[in-house]
Amino acid sequence: MSDSWIVGINPVEGALSNDASRVREVLVEQGQRNARVQELAARAKTLNIPVHHRSREELDRVSGEARHQGVVARYEAPPMGSENDIERLLAEAGQGALVLVLDGVTDPHNLGACLRSAAAAGATMVIVPKDRAVGLTPVVRRASAGGADRVPLIAATNLARALRTLKDAGVWITGLAGDTDTSVYSIDMRGPVALVLGSEGEGMRRLTRETCDFVAQIPMPGVMESLNVSVATGIVLFEALRQRSEKR
């Protein structure tokens, strides 16, 4: 476990609402009159979390490149989950398991946006390769708009092995790529499924792709050849939800 800074109104609010026991202190900019910031400070006090008023310069320093909006929180981040957690999470989800796998998504803004979509879709977990993961940084947490606190993030030492664990548990795996004629809308996603997306530049790695049961594309009749990975993630997750909501 390690301490990190959660930066901005929405991320701090998410931490206080979903994981207050790990918030160690809240720093509020001196002279800050924003009503939401004041509300967060009051809530932290009711939770017996120390609240300190600091200069804008100090908040700028701990926030780095992120925009703090007058409030930051020091957070004892839990370690990301491991491959050992996969079977338990699948058992808890049963036939409704919906897994997102991100192979090579290292940009913190993209990872955060993917976590936000995964949380909105009620995903069972998000799996990333341990050696190609950015981790739950303050930027990731801010971009996730609270999603980082709502969906388990698994760092797999061996992604291909993690995918085989999914398959052995009865999960059907669909990878997304642009060089196939199969449409993602033709894939049945009504049972336990995992959706795999690679990096925008290289896509899925070869071994990852070979482990998938299906490889499909998002049809794009326009002039663009690809989508941002976080946009593609939202499309496929909510296609799965659409199919699951239909009566058989």
CB 240 within 8 A of CB 203: no
> Was 218 annotated as part of a binding site?
yes
Q: Which of 226, 151, 214, 163 is nearest to 187 (CA)?
A: 214
DSSP per residue over 91-152, as a string?
HHHGGG-EEEEEES---HHHHHHHHHHHHHTT-SEEEEEGGG---S-HHHHHHHTTGGGTS-
**How far apart (Å, rounded) are the C-alpha atoms in residues 224 and 244?**
29
- Strand-pair partners of 196: 101, 175
CB 97 within 8 A of CB 121: no
List of residues 6+ apart from 3 with CB closer than 8 A: 24, 74, 75, 76, 77
Helix (H, G, I), strand (E, B) or coil at 203: strand
Distance of alpha carbon 15 from its chain centroid, rounded? 15
DSSP at 246: S
> Was 198 annotated as part of a binding site?
yes
**How far apart (Å, rounded) are the C-alpha atoms in residues 88 and 65?**
37
> Was 94 annotated as part of a binding site?
no
Instruction: Report the 10 Å Cβ neighbour count for 188.
Output: 11
**Annotated binding site, which residues?**
198, 218, 227
**Annotated binding site for S-adenosyl-L-methionine, which residues?**
198, 218, 227
